[in-house]
Chain A
Amino acid sequence: MGTIIQLTLKEVLRRRIFLVIALLTIGFLVLYGVALYYTGKKFVIKPTGMSANDAIKLVIYPQMLALGLYFSSMIVSLLAIFTAVGTISGELDSGILHSIVPKPLRRGEIVLGKYVGYGLILVIYTSILFLSIIGLVYFFTGYYAGNIIPALLYYLLLSLTLLALAMLGSTMLSTIANGVAVFMLYSIGTIGGMMEQIASMMNNEALTNIGIISSLIIPTDAIYRMMITSVLLNDSNPVNLLNMGPFGSQHPPSEAMMAYIVIYLLLALWGAKKVLKEGYLMA
């Protein structure tokens, strides 16, 4: 399996797309930093009563953080999807897998090796992105979100879950079909999550149910909600700001959801191995 991991890492690092993504990410962070700078500046200049300003700060800054995390979670999600979307179907089409499968290694080792390889790169990238956002917010506004480590772990879980899903799709669908399918699932999750937010503000049961169902189909939005709860609602920030705005979380998902997500991830990987073994696309 180590051989496959090594090869996967080499593959990502040698692809030019990696460089492009790195540059675009830097661009995003620069833009975000500039936005934060001007936000921070605005509240420093006004010399009016501290308490009023502080109250506003307590509302706006977390919103800025949530905004940054929301959009960067989208970036990370798309990255996870498009890295892995053609990893197996593409290699089947090209015939590359035909010379790997007959070697003395199990099908599961191929799937896991690729997953770990891509996963490692994703983890490093995601961590840098997450910490940059937290850091930028702190630097420009002085607002420090607590509970960073658990939040980071949720953030990583998000990309790793989508990675597993994309790999499963790659064993069954062509590259483009897989990309479309996983992206649409991700969109369903996102929209469903929004609906759940609106629903609990309005106490609308039907919308809440739709939201729950979509979370079961694809739990990525639930993971995001868990993360944002972890960041915004902790000892450093005793005020519950989660009711405000679409980037927060009305009702943070439960622990049962967490268990579901882990099972979901493992099932996706197991499914990928199983389908690959059947040789469905190999004939």
Chain B
Amino acid sequence: MVIETKYLTKLYGNKLGCQDICLSVSEGQVFGFLGPNGAGKSTLVKILMGLITPTSGEARLLGRPLGDLEVRKRIGFLPENFRYQDWLTGYELLSFHADLYRLPPNRKEARIKDVLEMVGLTGREGHRIRTYSRGMQQRIGLASALLPDPDLLFLDEPTSALDPLGRKEVREIILHQKSRGKTVFLNSHFLSEVELVCDRVAIIKKSQVVAQGSLEELRSGNITLDMRVGGITEGLLQALDQMGCPHKREGEKLWVEVAREEDIPLVAQRVVQHGGLIYQLTPTGNSLENLFVNLVEEGGE
């Protein structure tokens, strides 16, 4: 396990930051952490990064307890509110972070060049950070997180200031890390982005984890087929009962629930067999966004 948390809790006086968070992430995974604003995403990341101390619970990163200094040499972090000393040049900032990571001097130069290239800032490192746009600042932040070639990379809203092209580049960096067996923990609001790069996802609501699993597991909740069918008969409805598919009917509108994607053509066949005329068939509820919205809405399950 690269990340392991057991009942991690943070209380601010009476207010809950996060509660009983149990997560596990194994090596080489890209793990997505989702939740509405104020749910506790950043609180969790800050606890793992050692910025705040948990009220109770424990966690291990790369097999070491929180606070272990040695293991931090292998962890990279891009904070949500990234800001850097604007009186430094990009190069000086990377040099500063490289020194903090205790990179050996013979590797330092080469690494700085490499990460600049990875984030597309080669040629800009000589300018002061105060001249950088917000997107460039996020890129230099990402570069500094990549400096130690981290085995574990924490990215907190890493594309918030980037245009679509920039976001694509960050996705490529994440996938590149994954292809090299590195682990990435991603906090993001962009569900579509999470769907494109993550293997496993956890959803947090009101300081608690409400869902956790692989993307496939999470997306394969029940699928509702939104249909408009002419000529619905009792026989047709009974056939659906026999298939074990709950359904609801309003005139020509028919909603049928199926457990898996593979059942959709079977339902269509059965409807046609019983003389139904299918004018419309739209599967819904099979995306991360729907799951997220359902879970996170007030009074959601």
Contact = CB atoms under 8 A, between A and B. Distances in A.
B275 interface: no
A102 B47 CA distance: 10
Interface residues of A, number: 23
Given A104-B73, A105-B69, A283-B43, A98 B53 contact: no
Contacts of B196: none
A283 B15 CA distance: 12
Interface in B140-154: 141, 144
A95 B141 CA distance: 12
A57 interface: no
B99 A3 contact: yes
A104 to B, nearest CB: 4
B87 interface: yes
A102 B53 contact: no
B132 interface: no
Given A99-B144, A279-B53, A283-B52, A105 B100 contact: yes
Interface stretch (B76-84, B203-211, B278-286): B76-84
Contact of B46 (A3, A14, A282): A282
B262 interface: no
Contact of B70 (A99, A100, A104, A279): A104
Contacts of B17: 283
Contacts of A54: none
A95 B72 contact: no
B84 A96 contact: yes
B87 A96 contact: no
B236 interface: no
Contacts of B144: 99
Interface in B141-177: 141, 144
Nearest to A279: B52
A23 B77 CA distance: 41
Nearest to A96: B83
Interface of B: 12, 17, 43, 46, 49-53, 69-70, 72-73, 75, 77, 79, 81-85, 87-88, 92, 96-97, 99-102, 141, 144
10 contacts: A3-B99, A98-B79, A98-B82, A100-B100, A102-B49, A102-B51, A104-B100, A278-B53, A279-B46, A282-B52
